[in-house]
Structure 1
């Protein structure tokens, strides 16, 4: 079996289109999406339409939950931008996303961790930097999830962890956003996704970083007044000053 995994698109339609083109060439059996689909100053409505049309198994991210459940006046800046540009149909699509999901009986999907879309499964918070969790911390955060493959996103950090001899955890990184102040900075603007392949009962992984027109994405963010997003999109590094 071959599985393509995307996460944390954040409304970056140009990155998603480029990733999907490459995924189609790889011809996986299934494409899954780990959430945080639309939030950001880019193409939220267009991205929602793209995802709804393709119908990939998708779980809800923390920003998806905020967009679906929080009154518009209480949303933070990037969620408020997305909310203003979403149609009723796209809001309904977001609202219907499940928090977690199992596919193929032994593959578990979540955004953050099995218990929360805001807990980093593979990272621990060390102030303004995130470090790999210890082996015991990962197992504790997994709870009673025993699937042989666990897929998570949220940290925007590509990573594979072998939790036990029989259980692997994959974070594919972010399709759309490579730098958030205080969270992650991949150091390049390439879009990220992953392929997972099972042969003879064992999983192997490819963490991929691909080219796309990040200059267009940066210009769009800048035009919307989100200069720190424009910097991160064009460099893969967080802006020195945390602005909008």
Structure 2
């Protein structure tokens, strides 16, 4: 079995389109999406339409939840932008996304961690920075999830962590946003995703970083009044304040 894993698109349709073209050429058995689909100063409505048309198994991220449940006056900056442009159909699509999902009996999908879309499964939140969780902390955050492959996003940081001989956690990184202050700075603007392959009872992983037109994405952010996003999109390094 070959599984393509995407996460944290944040409305970056240009990155998503390029990633999807590469994935289609590789012809995996399934594509799954780990959430934070639309929030950001880019193409929220167009991205929602694209994703809804694909019908991929998708869990909601913390920003998806905010867009679906939080009054507009209480939203953060990047969510305010997305909220302004979303159609009724797109709001209904994002509101219907589940918090977690199982694919078969041995693959578990979440955005942050099994218990919360805001808790990093593989990292600890230090306030203005984060750092890798210990083995014990990862086990604790997994709770009673025993699936052999656990897929998470949220931190925008590509990682593979083997919790035990029978359980591995994969974060594919972010399709659309490579930097935000105090947390992730991948150091390049390439779009990230991953392919997981199950063969002879074991998983192996290909963490991908691919070229796309990030200059267009950065220009879109600038035109929307988000110069801080534009810097991160163009460089992979964080400006002073970029939404997570």
Q: TM-score, normalised by structure 2?
A: 0.98
- Given the alignment of the two structures, is residue 160 of structure 1 paired with residue 160 of structure 2, yes or no? yes
Number of positions where the alignment pairs a residue of Structure 1 with one of Structure 2: 243
Task: Give, in whole Å, the separation in 2 of the partners of 1:123 and 1:107.
Answer: 20
Match of 1:67 in 2: 67
- State the SS of the aligned residue for 1:179: coil
CA-to-aligned-CA distance 1:164-196 (integer Å, 9 cap, x gap): 110000000000000011221000000000000
**Backbone CA RMSD of aligned residues:** 0.9
Unaligned runs of 5+ in 2: none
* Superposition map of 1:165-204 within 5 A: 165-204=165-204
CA-to-aligned-CA distance 1:200-221 (integer Å, 9 cap, x gap): 1100000000000000000000
**4+ residue segments displaced more than 4 Å:** none
Task: Give, in whole Å, the separation in 1 of the partners of 2:45 and 2:181.
Answer: 25
CA-to-aligned-CA distance 1:48-68 (integer Å, 9 cap, x gap): 000000000000000000000
Match of 1:242 in 2: 241
Task: Give, in whole Å, the separation in 1 of the partners of 2:152 and 2:9.
Answer: 13
Unaligned runs of 5+ in 1: none
C-alpha distance 243-166 of structure 1, shift in aligned 2 (>3 A) = closer
Match of 1:35 in 2: 35
Q: TM-score, normalised by structure 1?
A: 0.98
Task: Give, in whole Å, the separation in 2 of the partners of 1:116 and 1:87.
Answer: 27
- Alignment check: 8 A CA contact 1:227 1:243 kept: no
Task: Give, in whole Å, the separation in 1 of the partners of 2:241 and 2:70.
Answer: 24
Match of 2:20 in 1: 20
